[in-house]
Amino acid sequence: VHLVESGGDSVQAGGSLRLTCALSGLKRDNYCMGWFRQAPGQEREGVASILSDGKISYGDSVKGRFTITLDKEKNTLYLQMDNLKPDDTARYYCAADVDPVVSWCYRVLDVGMDYWGEGTQVTVSS
């Protein structure tokens, strides 16, 4: 499985960005895909996840502002980020778990994620 993120940029608070994760090699019927972020000096944080059955979960800090979608035909995972805040500044990663524990995916946990992209930087200025 190969994951490549893009779409990161520098924006002002209140702005929007859409991150894209191009997937290849994911030949499983059961999986969990997720977006995670990590700011300098901080632990990695779960942003959003989507199970192969379509169940979606969000981290508390982004609920109501971010939207995760998966286009299976295009093999692409998206993260629409609206009303961005300076606290959203981080490097954003997409990840895939090809043998998921459902509860971990629901809680947007990074434990169990098997494959990771290199990340894309999002910087939000006030």
Q: Of the candidates 29, 27, 45, which has an alpha carbon nearest to the alpha carbon of residue 37?
A: 45
Q: Which two tokens stand for residue 114?
A: 């098997």
Q: Of the candidates 79, 69, 101, 96, which has an alpha carbon nearest to the alpha carbon of residue 9?
A: 79
What is the pLDDT, as a whole number, of residue 109? 94
36 and 49 in contact (C-beta within 8 Å)?
A: no
Distance CA 51, CA 42 (A): 26
Instruction: Please give the helix or strand (H or E) that residue 10 lies within, else none.
Output: strand 10-12
Using a pLDDT cut of 70, give the percent of the chain over it.
100
What is the pLDDT, as a whole number, of residue 78? 98
